Amino acid sequence: MTSTSDPSATADPRLSSPTAARLLRQATTEFNQRRFAAAAHALTSVLALAPDNPTALKMMAVASQRLGNHASAVECFLKTTRTWPEDPMLRIGLGVSLAELDRGDEAIEHLRLACKLSPSFADAWYDLGEALARQSYAQEAATVLQKALKLSPDHLLARLSLARVWTNLGQLDEAVKAFREVLRRDPGNAEGWFGLSYLNTDCFEPGDFELLERALERPGRPADEQERLWFVQAKLLEMRGDYTRAFDAFRAANELGCKRVRWNPAAAHERAEAVLKAFEGTIPPPPDAEFGREAILIASMPRSGSSLVEQILASHPDVEGANEIKSMAQVLEAETRRRRSLFPSWIPDATAQDWHRLGHEYLALTSRWRETKPRFTDKSLANWLFAGTALSMLPGARIIVVRRDPVETCLACYRQCLGSMYGFACDLADAADYYIDFMRLTRFWVRKYPHRVLDLEYEALVAEPDAAIRRLLEFCELPFDPACLAFHKTRRAVQSLPSAVQIRQGMRSDTARAARYGNRLDALRERLRSGETPHMPPIKRCLFAAASVLSLGTAASVAQSAQTPALAATPPMGWNDWAHYQCNFTAQTILANAKALVSSGLAARGYDIVTIDDCWMQKQRDAAGNLQPDPARFPQGMKPVADAIHALGLKFGIYEDAGSETCGGFAGSGEPDGGGNDHFAQDARLFESWGVDYLKLDGCNVYVPKGGSQDAAYRKAYAAQSAALKALRHPVVFSESAPAYFQGTPGWYEVLDWVRGYGQLWREGSDIMTFNPKHPDKSRFHSVMWNYAYNLPLGRYQTPGNWNDPDFIIGGDGGMSLAETRSQLALWAMMSAPLILSSDVGKLSPTALHILGNREVIRIDQDPLGRMATLVQRTPTMDVLFKPLTGGDYAVAVFNRGSAPLAVDLSLDSLGFAAGNACSMSVSDPWTHATLSQQHGLKANVAAHDTAIWRLHPATGCAAAERTGAITAIDVGHTRDINTYSRCLAASGDVGACLGTGAERWTYTREQTLRAGNQCLAVVDGAPKMQACSNVAGQHWTYRLDGGLVNGADHRCLSIGDQGKSSNHWQMQACGRGLPNQTWALPNG
């Protein structure tokens, strides 16, 4: 879809503040140079001074859209339309962002208005057509796209979109004409060739093969376009009967696909096994055994007949076909985030009421599909994994497992460009391995739910359609209707292009192709046979890679779910040169610190990764395109240094950058300015040859193509580096710096979401202050406090294998007292943060070494649960932190931020334990190693800038602590002062400086209520209000990953006043994504 025009050209005389005017000029400059994150940062300040300024709002809307933060874009576009209600470009921008947020009907409304305001603007009609097609209004989409083409016949995007819509509608002759017209205008258009190949080989013409070969030879073509063209050539070769060359073409296409999307079979196998084990236990009986009867879920692999089965059912007058909807995954993702426990590990804890609530959420999301018919189908390709959850949520639903011959299915997957979610399909061995998981799990569902799950074989359906269709309808408790036998005559939009063609051709028995490839598939056949067990029927299907769609279906979720769990299962520990040396180091510097880690005993405590940061390389690559170590710093090259580090029993880490140059101006791994080939894969192979165990990838100088978003550019770069590392034989821990480049912008939380899918840890904000040898004693503690401040509220993003990184441990180095050194280590440990030293290790004092090597504090940091601490209480000078540990223990810390000593006296109930003296604790102090038993509270005198820390072991009979603590609102981008960056929500509804009072103490219960004292937060008559707790829908709050709190009855978000205006009181507003006045940090679970 298109985007809005340049807003910086709009003159605006409304700024009376000179500061605001200056900042707006700065933002305009940044915007015009396509530095959208910097522009958004400046605009945030402008809008703080002039919240209603339309020019700033318009520019912020476009910048947010380019950064991929469509929720913020929608808010700004809506406000700007109040000033310029008849500006069609604003309506287009608003419609585009609404569509990206899956708010399709709203998007259509604004795009219709844009077309009305500017009826001769082809882009407006094109965007409207795209939005209509997304919402399955295919017939109207075709009419609208034809209007766009009448206005602008050269609009290739509109013509391609129209061709796809014709295909969805089954009007294949029209689709052929449209794709042909695209190719007439642009003979090398990859999308045109690809779309044509979906229709039928009969639509190819003499001379097409030669045209296609010329298109394949076009230099500089992006890899994804080249991949699609190889698929097209393979199908042309099949048409000629040349199956040897066709297979080679399919292999070339899939090799490109495998480079783009790496797949981890072991991780996906573990996920399928975990689902099976989770449902081997007893699931609570439902309160209503027929609840959810309206849902019919189809579970299958791609290219296995699921679209055919859905078309048969959708031909029945009582059934609507919804295609591959994401509703089930969305419900489970939301529950996973709420519980802060990965799916399916929370399954045994779910109550009957939980399942019933989730069922209601699913039916609410799918209500559109029951507006005219009582039943609907859901054929998400993740349903084979979700069948157990579906039947727990919807006990009256029906599940249909559709199976096809295994070799045919695997080959069919291999022959299609299935996209990034189906990474298994580019490798036949992966497909075979995953089929075994599919078969094992679906057999389990059939045994566990024999009256709710139907096993339907595709070949049996094709051979005897009448009997199979009658059986299918009977299972779904649908009366027989002859329309189901004549399914190919049913007019409806089918989203899958290959299936949209095939189901209009009636029941076909000629789809088998495996025999034509002869011994090319022998390895596949053998691998499938090897998966048979005495408990498994002969293997007959290929597998769809389940882990790819456990979240919301994004590429990041795919990568995350397929990661190897053991990589960085606890926060990484080690040493990095940057904060102490910057670029002033040599190989001798690195090795001296590595040896000091060993001789000091720090390596034995876990500090075992030695990483060389920026400035190690030359500014130019060699003739082969390889990075070159700086010969002045590394005269023997990098391999001997790595070997020496490994010989010490340590791991070796290296730095690179996702841009064309590093932050220091040296050779980066990313695309050059202006676009071109990156070096991620090449550099990864080089690093592997050196023995690299850890890669830190910075984010300076990332190329943002014209018309693209900064978010998309960063995501592309980090995804490419992640894929390159996963292709190596040796595992490499991947540290990402992308979020730090979005801190203070509307897109920060979106980036924090997607980085989790690519690496194991990420730098999410400002760097720690570096050592200045000219002023060695200059205090650096304010930098430590700021990094702690912005990291602490982000616990919702962290799980084992995914770590927030607030930057280096500089304790013990210049500018840090011993008390401050204790504080930094204790605070980082409470946050389960990576412990990466950056100091001259050989010059650390014995006391500093004793602190940094404290075994018990490190044990708290490295706890396998990986939880970040909850902010229990904050006063102007003190923070109290609370953290659950493995085995039922807890850690508590009190941080004295003030300049005077602090007397501390904490009761156990203030930490979330039940009030009274029934529960006692064994309390140990890691600093003094003292242990006290049968304690009912915690007392200490804490020096200025110091931190007290305890490990608590509850006595037998103590109930688990509730999620209790402060709820803070985060003022992103405005201040580096803790007291103003994080403001506390009081039960009065006021949001202000944290005072540590009882009114600021909240409990987020298992029932998703927010309790303060003996009352719960509810929405009454559209406004937040405290009332007696009663567990009604108006008291239920869903906590989203972006920090939003959504009310269960009102479905709006808890907000602070009006976005962009000065207000310190709560109210309810329509939910955005990552909006500053809707972002809350809750007590962690």
Active site residues: 698, 753
Rounded to 5 degrees, φ, ψ at 187 are -60, -20
What is the rounded CA–CA span in Å between residue 811 and residue 603? 16
Q: Which of 123, 119, 117, 169 is nearest to 142 (CA)?
A: 169
CB–CB of 704/715 below 8 Å? no
Could you tell me the two tokens for 323?
A: 């295609």
∠ CA 1027-1030-1034, rounded to 5°: 70
The helix (run of H) or strand (run of E) holding residue 681 is helix 680-690
Q: Other CB atoms closer than 10 Å to residue 907's CB: what's the count?
A: 11
State the burial class of residue 16 (Cβ atoms within 10 Å of its Cβ: 0-12, 13-18, 19+). Answer: exposed
Ordered DSSP codes for 335-374? HHHHHTS-TTTTGGG--HHHHHHHHHHHHHHTGGGGSSSS
CA distance linking residue 981 with residue 1001, whole number of Å: 19
Specify the residue for token string 């029932």.
1007
Which residue, among 607, 950, 943, has the nearest Cα to 808 in the 3D structure? 607
Which DSSP string do the residues of 431-452 spell out, in sequence order? HHHHHHHHHHHHHHHHHH-TTT
Q: How far apart are CA 1070 and CA 1059, in angstroms?
A: 11
Task: For residue 736, give the amino acid letter.
Answer: E
What CA–CA distance (Å, rounded) separates 116 from 87? 11
Q: Please, which residues have CB within 8 angstroms of residue 383's CB and are 6 or more apart in sequence?
A: 297, 298, 299, 300, 328, 390, 399
Distances (CA, A) of 254 to 231, 416, 682, 717, 724: 9, 9, 19, 21, 16
- CB contact at 8 A, 998 and 964: no
Quote the distance between the C-alpha of residue 421 and its chain's center.
13
What are the CA-CA distances from residue 431 to residues 187, 420, 435, 528 (Å)? 34, 15, 6, 9
What separation in angstroms does the CA of 580 have from each of 638, 650, 841, 852? 21, 20, 10, 16
Cβ–Cβ contacts within 10 Å for residue 738, how many? 25
Rounded to whole angstroms, the Cα distance separating 612 from 290 reads 62
| Segment 126-129 long-range contacts (CB within 8 Å, at least 24 positions apart) | 126/1, 126/2, 126/155, 126/157, 126/158, 126/161, 127/1, 127/2, 127/92, 127/95, 127/96, 127/99, 128/95, 129/158, 129/161, 129/162, 129/165
Count CB atoms within 10 A of the CB of residue 55: 24
